[in-house]
Chain A
Amino acid sequence: MDIDVDRTGAVAVVAPKGELDMVVSDRLKRMLAELIEGGQPRVVVDLAGVAYIDSSGMGALVAAMKQARAAGGDVRLCGLQDDVRAIFEMTRLSKAMAIHPSRSDALASWG
């Protein structure tokens, strides 16, 4: 799986592509932790290219969200496909995390 990262702006954008299972989640978790610890606690994770997510994928996102919020930022999501959104709703993470329709909406949410 590819994970694109754009850290040029004030908000970093991370875009994994493919299936977010335990193999990719460990990579994503490390990547997000490095971004946040490196002084970029404002992160958008664009899930438009993710067709499958399991509990390890969601765990990576939640862990990063908590770490980012503790550092004064947040991890905000966008581009969820229907199947991925259904899993977020089952676990109620759709209420706990900020979810936006598109990347531009997510970036604009920081004003």
Chain B
Amino acid sequence: MRQVLSMTSDPAELARMRAWLRGELADGSLPRETCAQLLVAVGELCTNAIKHAYGGRAGQPIEVAVERGPDRIQIEVEDWGVPFDPERYVAPDLDAVPDHGLGLFLARTIADGFSWDTARAGGTRWTLIKYLPGRPPGASQTRSARERE
């Protein structure tokens, strides 16, 4: 089941997004600390959309979607602004104690799977996967195979 939140690029919307996502993740399938980290990861992607994709312009659309699989939770963050350009992305040098540029690093570190899609007409769709504890990737296929036997 796919649940979608539509928000705008107003920074005050970030709190509403977190409250919604907290509710979506609150079924006990993920440890509490993992849920807290996912709030940060998704918050970073939304903040990125506000700051970079839309250059701080308020009122622009952002969608956050949560979809559950047998072994995972998949979260997408989508904007229709300036697409992410990996050629221009510079990973932070943690030894230099940076005061900016940690957002994507955090999202990537927290997620088990992390990707982006810019092959659309505009904007970026970020996809973040977190596997459920005790259910290894591919658990669903294994089960289907057993059911067929």
Contacts and interface: CB of A to CB of B under 8 A. Distances in A.
Contacts of B47: 21-22, 54-56
A82 B109 CA distance: 17
Contacts of A59: 98-100, 102
Interface string B1-26: 00000000001101100100000000
10 contacts: A21-B18, A23-B15, A52-B36, A53-B40, A55-B101, A58-B99, A59-B100, A82-B33, A86-B37, A91-B102
Contacts of A58: 99, 102
Interface of A: 19, 21-23, 52-56, 58-60, 62-63, 66, 82-83, 86-87, 90-93, 96
Contacts of B62: none
Residues of B in contact with A, size category = 20 to 34
B103 A55 contact: yes
B40, B51, B103, B105: which has the most chain A beta carbons within 10 Å?
B40
A96 B11 CA distance: 28
B44 A55 contact: yes
B20 to A, nearest CB: 14
B132 interface: no
Nearest to A64: B99
B60 to A, nearest CB: 15
A22 B12 CA distance: 9
Contacts of B39: 52
B105 A83 contact: no
B119 interface: no
A110 B99 CA distance: 24
B53 interface: no
B123 interface: no
Contacts of A87: 37, 40, 106
B83 interface: no
- Which 3 pairs between the two chains have the least Cβ-Cβ distance? A55-B102, A62-B99, A83-B36
Interface string B80-104: 0000000000000011011111110
Contact of B37 (A22, A83, A91, A92): A83
A66 to B, nearest CB: 7
Contact of A22 (B14, B98, B101): B14
B15 A19 contact: yes
B50 interface: yes
A21 B98 CA distance: 17
B106 A21 contact: no
